[in-house]
Homo-oligomer: A and B are copies of this chain.
Amino acid sequence: MTIVITAFERSPDGGKGLARDTRVRWALEEVGRPYETRLVSFAAMKEPAHLRLHPFGQIPTYEEGDLALFETGAIVLHLAQSHPGLLPDDADARARAIAWMFAALNTVEPPILDLVVAKFQEGDRPWAKERLPRVEDRIRHRLMQLAARLGDADWLDGAFSAGDLMMVSVLLRLRPSGILDEFPGLAAYVARGEARPAYQRAFAAQWAVNAAKPQAG
């Protein structure tokens, strides 16, 4: 059955791989499933046809036969649970790997999203400059805890898993800020993720969509 995902017709990051379709592309490459991509414009994302697939008007979505999914975490987990390669066989280890997926999305990403809001939605507000250090410190607090748990291990819990795929993807959003590089252990962890051939293929695929399209305005 053909898998079809959606991605930005023109990604806000111009192809740096930070849009969330990269996470799904990466998972698809790790489990060795080919896929097709349907590109959607910002206008089309708010139209009924897309809202039927994604009630919050975002990308990516995932379609395979009768199954339609939204939410990157759910798509990656679905792929991980229905193919070998992204979750350990042992039931307890599986549950722990899934816990790292949730930790990436619900504990580590929210303060990082707040930084995106502070810079891009509120960057012109009078409070932006004074508030930014507080936002950054909340991120540092989480990264300190994450770095302490990772220690000098390659991955968060044994072999590379969907938990690492999601955590690396979330941390990548931080690179432009310089905060990631304040934590050399985490920067090396992210680099290990990026070095995986599956990530390289996913990055190249989203780059091919965006590289030829300079940002408007």
Contacts and interface: CB of A to CB of B under 8 A. Distances in A.
Interface stretch (A101-109, A184-192, A199-207): A101-109
A17 interface: no
A44 interface: no
Interface stretch (A69-77, A174-182, A209-217): A69-77
Interface in A68-111: 68-75, 77-78, 92, 95-96, 98-99, 101-103, 105-107, 109-110
A57 B145 contact: yes
A116 B104 CA distance: 20
B78 A98 contact: yes
A160 to B, nearest CB: 18
A142 B78 CA distance: 24
Contact of A149 (B55, B74, B131): B55
Given A109-B106, A145-B56, A125 B131 contact: yes
Nearest to A103: B71
Contacts of A148: 51, 55
Interface residues of A, number: 47
Contacts of A56: 103, 107, 142, 145-146
Interface in A58-73: 58, 66-73
A184 B101 CA distance: 33
Interface of A: 51, 55-58, 66-75, 77-78, 92, 95-96, 98-99, 101-103, 105-107, 109-110, 113-114, 117, 121-122, 125-127, 130-131, 134, 138, 142, 145-146, 148-149
Interface pairs A-B: 5 shortest CB-CB: A127-B127, A74-B99, A55-B149, A73-B102, A71-B102
